[in-house]
Chains A and B, each alone.
Chain A
Amino acid sequence: MEFRLILYGLLLILVMIFYPAGLAGLYQAAMQKIKSKKRKP
């Protein structure tokens, strides 16, 4: 539990600083990239 909380704390700080949208934001950005690539001839 303690090690898990340390890991979560570190990840939380990193996510807040570098990617506030989190994993869901990452997924949406990836999907948009795939869609825009499909649209290009």
Chain B
Amino acid sequence: MGQTTEAIPVRRAQSRLTLVAKLNSIGLSPPILACLALLALAPLFVKDEYILRLLVISLYFGSLAMTFDFTGGYINAVNFGFAAFVGLGAYAAALVAIHSTLGAWAGLLAGALITGLVGFFTGILTLPLRGIYVSLMSWFVGMTLMALATAMEGVTRGSRGLIVPSIYPNATTTAYLYILLGLFLVIYILLRLILRSPVGLAFRAIGQNYDAAQASGVDPVRYKLLNFTISSACAGLFGGFYAHYVGIVTPDVMGMGYTMEVMALSFIGGSGSLLGGVFAAFLLILCSIRSSA
């Protein structure tokens, strides 16, 4: 009897440790879980609409920085056309939401798929190159996409912009915060699982020493292409969210300024860390906008 009463707390402690280890394996360590819980509980304590909007924008830019870091921090390919991929996802999601009855979620998915596809073909063009040429080529592709969005007035309404309906009727900022938090969590766990797999090891090897990775039997172009496609698809997904949240998509969203902003957040947060950019986004966006208000 005494043994069983003693064994129960030990079993509980063991199951708790197993749970912590499992959560750690998908990148959800206790400090990260605490930060996520704090963000999830924020709408209960924060009633100021402006601060809630700042939280959504910070999480949005943080998510983009994380996606950018997946390419820049691991395979060492800096995508200068990143904002154009986000914009493409935004346009795709907006067009599906406007012209079809499939709904906003199908639009988000379509945004991710189309951007992933464009990312794949851009990758075929750019990734066999090395060094600065990858960045330059992706920049040119981004500029082309932006010019197309401006010129194709029949589809995108040019610089007047597309008016996008909200994700569901009467969606509040709090609802958008939870939707974005959900998207962020799914993408973060997905990227972590990829990075923990042998594919992630190949990404790291390519990022650290291209020639050594190639000599070890890793096909750099294939793995870089995979990485670039995943990163582009994630950028498109977040772009789709942006379209619904802001309610209008103009070609400005594809501008170089946004790429620079995301790149800066990613590098300030720490290249090759995934979550570093997210923390940098919260720290810098909240500080800079609060000080200018």
User: Chain A contacts of B70 at CB under 8 A?
Assistant: none
Distance in Å: Cβ of B286 to nearest Cβ of chain A: 12
> Which of B268, B273, B289, B292 is A11 in contact with, Cβ under 8 Å?
B268
Whether B234 is near chain A, meaning CB under 8 Å from some CB there, is: no
Known: A8-B268, A16-B267. A24 touches B273 (CB 8 A): yes
Known: A11-B268, A22-B268. A4 touches B288 (CB 8 A): yes
Known: A22-B267, A22-B270, A22-B276. A11 touches B284 (CB 8 A): yes
Chain B's interface: helix, strand, loop or mixed, by majority?
helix
User: Chain B contacts of A5 at CB under 8 A?
Assistant: 257, 260-261, 264
Q: Tell me the A residues contacting B by CB distance below 8 Å.
A: 1, 3-5, 7-9, 11-12, 15-16, 20-27
Interface size in chain B (residues, C-beta < 8 A): 21
Q: Is the CB–CB distance between A4 and B261 below 8 Å?
A: yes
A8 to B275, CA, bound (A): 18
A-B contact pairs, 8 of them (CB 8 A): A1-B261, A4-B288, A8-B264, A15-B267, A23-B276, A24-B270, A24-B275, A25-B270
Q: Is the CB–CB distance between B268 and A15 below 8 Å?
A: yes
- CB closest residue in chain B, given A19: B270
A16 to B270, CA, bound (A): 10
